Structure 1
């Protein structure tokens, strides 16, 4: 790689070279320990005499900015610590108000993502890395790699046809979704699907309804669009449809496994929500993020499968079932939205990662994805049972665990009459190497904890809950 030096023939060459090298070192662009190009090589790159380069290096060595190591070359020295300069006054930009609004968006889950996991961490929505099918995935990825370059240089904005076919077949089988491959748009995680839907459906001043407590990133997306958000309460039957505002353009819901409370939307509420959407003309975003992990009862109908008018956009993700790092999700687009969403997707990123899409299509077509889901359900089921036993025994004096039919997190509520600061409890638990997550991070709602069991092994759950019980016992 060439060193970025620009020489103006009209100025003294040696001074220019010395000044620029000195600036690169003092600014940190040439870090301590970095090796400078050999004088012969740099002279050839810049079209200068080698002696000019050598003199500049000698001067830098005298200034103790570099050191010459016999037989190895010249290296940047560590600079002495300097007094911290006062922060520069940021430039006043015409879009300052808009920039400030984005900087002020509430992103509590970003803080969670930035923090390292505890030894026993009940973080929600994070799958067990050890369950990832490494051998199968490597085989399909190698096959996809060999095929790379044989077809078009770009995948369609909607995704590779083979993957769209596989997704359509899977959601029809597993979730009762009515669709064909033409309705599937592959996205970079569910997050991009939400972003596309929000961009297409709402603008400044439009009303959007969402569950409360609910998924914070969706709230932030709507606020970034300038929409007016209408939080709608959740009870034991899910979203309270009678509280939906008539003027809403969209409503976001997690009917199979409400985030974060874990309840499933009742059949009456599902039909009520679809009837409300028919009257209001709104679009329903159905987030089906982890319902494929089902532990009891018969699968409930998806909203999309019950929808006879094309008002439900069904969003799924492979981040929960396989790995977040794959960044693969999808939206089953209603016919009225399909073209607009495709245009928005093309403008956002042209197309997704063809290599990963090809590997996933192969994995699903061979039956590997269904086998993987069965393995995950068995393992998460064991963890769920241990968690439920622990709350019935170790934590029974303080917390009640809400049952959830599906998903790999449950919610624990503090018992009435107790005055426990969940935020302080979480901080104390972190010192004991246990990760706890207060429900208040997810908006207004009951006081308690979100208990994910994707990252805590079954044999570790008793130990982790025992530490939490010890903290609660001391606090009481």
Structure 2
């Protein structure tokens, strides 16, 4: 491998080569088993004598950092012996983020670990992903289509995909759109970012649901907005409590996150009228309502909008996989030029291969079939959870009615005694059960009490045992409360 070594300045060049290679091994830049350049090659690269490099290599070999293999070359023999360079630099860095970023707390990503009973929210079951179909679609594009895309593309996204989406959304969700109204994004979160960049100026008021989706609230805060949490009830967001000066209102009307409530038709009508009266824009997040288990869905706000005030956002993260990083937005024509420019300035466009494969999948009817099959599987899991919550937790917890999505919310039965969600979550985790507290998504204090039970990552047969362990954690929490 190529190794960058600096030898400028005065002094012993062999010593400088030795020290830089030693430091690279100690901080992990050069890893055990990696082959170093031959002494002749490194000497030519540095314009020094071969003897100079040989002296450095021999010293490193004598100290155990390198090992020479006859006829094979020189290899790194040691593991890192000191702090990694990135860790050492942390103490002497002078760069600081803008003030707003210092208040954003986001745990570092870690490799997912197996959990015995995983009720985490927001994750589809990877076992349901149509891997064979997807492999054939991607292979087909690799054989020919990708060769036509060796240039920068339309920031709005591949036209074939936007056309396929317009047809699918019109049939499946009653969304009124053409390909020109659609922009492809890297997941829903980028779609929210693009909308925020186009609409929000520092100091603007943005209303969000409470409880609600924290990454959206945090995103708008970083864009300089004054974010106002608005309570939700069993009919969705309280329109009567919206701030009159809100520039943007973020809602999840089809399956409120995290409670699962559906925004009633009266509330939808009231919200649209409020937006008209206050010259506001509504950001409609339809993140997982492709999965419906009962009732005919209410029309989305976008299809009820007659003034062009709704931006509709969807994602393939729940119906396919989050790893695809594929989402979309449907916006009024007045916003599309600015949104296209924002997308171009952010990352120009999504990759051609994923878009082209998804376009074929949607157009062929494969996506609709996949959603139907997945809905059947998730519906069985949801029914199992509702049934088992009633059987195992019925005296303490009840399920908030929900007819869509990949999770349900359970809240304490009135008069059932003390309930400490955080204690329950920690206790359950010690037993191999992953659940999340409703309070984690709540801004107002005291936080709403309850738990979220996702069913995208747990097999139906594991639900009873997982809920049995959760019931014990809830019982222990109640006994632990001061009397």
Task: Identify the TM-score tier after normalising by the shorter chain.
Answer: over 0.9
Return the alpha-carbon distance in structure 2 between the equivalents of residues 43 and 86 of structure 1: 30
Q: Deviation string for 1:202-255 (max 9, x for gaps)?
A: 121110001000000011011111211111110111111000111000000000
Partner of 1:99: 98
Change (3 A) 1:15 1:101: same
Return the alpha-carbon distance in structure 1 between the equivalents of residues 110 and 52 of structure 2: 51
Alignment pair present for 1:202 and 2:200: yes
Partner of 2:474: 472
Return the alpha-carbon distance in structure 2 between the equivalents of residues 309 and 321 of structure 1: 30
Q: Deviation string for 1:432-465 (max 9, x for gaps)?
A: 1111100001014520001111111111111111
How far apart are 1:122 and its partner, in Å?
Answer: 0.8
How far apart are 1:19 and its partner, in Å?
Answer: 3.7
Partner of 2:187: 189
Return the alpha-carbon distance in structure 2 between the equivalents of residues 47 and 89 of structure 1: 35
Partner of 2:460: 458
How far apart are 1:71 and its partner, in Å?
Answer: 4.4
Contact 2:248 2:282 survives alignment (8 Å)? yes
Change (3 A) 1:416 1:379: same
Change (3 A) 1:30 1:152: closer
Partner of 2:3: 3
Partner of 2:58: 58
Which of 238, 245, 248 is matched with 1:247 structurally? 245
Change (3 A) 1:350 1:55: same
How far apart are 1:55 and its partner, in Å?
Answer: 2.0
Change (3 A) 1:32 1:293: same
Structure 1 gaps, min length 5: none
Change (3 A) 1:316 1:18: same
TM-score scaled by structure 2?
A: 0.92
Structure 2 gaps, min length 5: none
How far apart are 1:472 and its partner, in Å?
Answer: 2.6
Partner of 1:227: 225
Return the alpha-carbon distance in structure 1 between the equivalents of residues 473 and 18 of structure 2: 62
How far apart are 1:318 and its partner, in Å?
Answer: 0.2
Return the alpha-carbon distance in structure 2 between the equivalents of residues 59 and 302 of structure 1: 71
Contact 1:125 1:454 survives alignment (8 Å)? yes
Q: Which piece of structure 1 moves more, 205-214 or 116-125? A: 116-125
Contact 1:106 1:216 survives alignment (8 Å)? no
Q: Which piece of structure 1 moves more, 357-366 or 20-29? A: 20-29
Contact 2:26 2:81 survives alignment (8 Å)? no
Contact 1:408 1:452 survives alignment (8 Å)? yes
Change (3 A) 1:113 1:272: farther
Which of 126, 134, 137 is matched with 1:137 structurally? 134
TM-score scaled by structure 1?
A: 0.93
Contact 1:249 1:283 survives alignment (8 Å)? yes
Partner of 1:128: 125
